[in-house]
Amino acid sequence: MTEETSLNFLFKKSIVSFPDSLNSPVFIGKNQREILFVSNNADEQSKKFLQKIVELGLKFSFDEIFFYYFPEQKHSFRELYDASKPKYIFCFGLKPSDLKMNIEVMPNVPFHFHDCEILFTVSASELERNEQTKKNFWQAMKKMLNLA
């Protein structure tokens, strides 16, 4: 049997199963800061605004933070947390129930949950348009990250 024939036989007779990890969240970035941004919108304008927050506001590299775009994937808080182990999570345009969390929170009010600090706020596009909401978000973010 030639090598090619044996490979064909192997592929034809093999049962292919896909591990659960294929259903794992897909993140952008390297998570060096243990910060996760979860956004309900993956359009270019929203991505650029989140990039401005990271690079101009926080003075971090865009690469240093994990980004997860919710409309493209839908995972629970537990799945996101287990896959990324962040210390800080910022949720843009989402409610806790979107992440299968059974809690109620106020926008721009940080809270502690499962070994991390979480902040829910409006969508990136709404944040960009509304100066007062942007100011409230920025103050809460600085407090969470001890940047004040």
Q: What is the distance between the alpha carbons of residues 49 and 92, in angstroms, rounded to a whole number?
A: 11
pLDDT tier at 26 (50, 70, 90 boundaries)?
confident
Instruction: Name the strands in the sheet holding 116-121, side by side, starting at the edge strand that comes first in the sequence.
Output: 66-69, 35-39, 88-92, 116-121, 111-113
Determine the Cα angle at 33 with ends 146 and 51, to 5°: 90
Instruction: Please provide the average confidence, as pLDDT, over all residues in the chain.
Output: 85
pLDDT tier at 73 (50, 70, 90 boundaries)?
confident
- 0.85 surpassed by pTM: no
The neighbour count for residue 28, using CB atoms within 10 Å, is 14
**Each residue's pLDDT tens digit, 58-68:** 999 988 999 99
**pLDDT number for residue 82:** 93
**pLDDT number for residue 15:** 38
Amino acid (one-letter) located at 125: S
Q: Are strands 111-113 and 116-121 parallel, antiparallel or unpaired?
A: antiparallel
Nearest to 124 by CA among 36, 29, 30, 50: 50
